Structure 1
Amino acid sequence: MITKLMVAAGVLVCLGIVSQGVERSIDKEEVKHFVTEHFEEQDEGEDWIDFQTDDKKQETFIERIGF
């Protein structure tokens, strides 16, 4: 039981050390440049997903999935 806890603690410590190393090695200016070049802002008024049904009737599960 104690060895399992020690192994779990060791794994957590190693993951923490690795994540700190990765975080420090990331070039934040390069990430900012990549994001501004490749992603566009969405307008607040544009909804890509319509969550409402057209006729607002109660549908069964079978009708919703298309059968």
Structure 2
Amino acid sequence: MFKQVDNNLLLIFTLDPLRNFVKQYFNGVVEMNEDNLNQMIQISWGAITVSERRSYLCIVKLNSTILFFA
């Protein structure tokens, strides 16, 4: 499911875009809403996964717990 590359590269391509998004939010450049967050998570997920079919990450918020399903 994951691309066969160094784990550090996977982290870079997953966390850096999200970190930059949060920085842009605090700088007032982008709005943080559920749609934007879901899009950022999908982009990061797509950067690290390989599949013959398109892969989606499902995010479910249950009370104060966020669940992730691939």
TM surpasses 0.5: no
| Structure with larger RCO (C-alpha < 8 A, sep 6+) | 2
Which protein has the larger Cα radius of gyration, Structure 1 or Structure 2? 1
Give the TM-score taking structure 1 as reference length. 0.30
More helix by share: 1
Give the TM-score taking structure 2 as reference length. 0.29
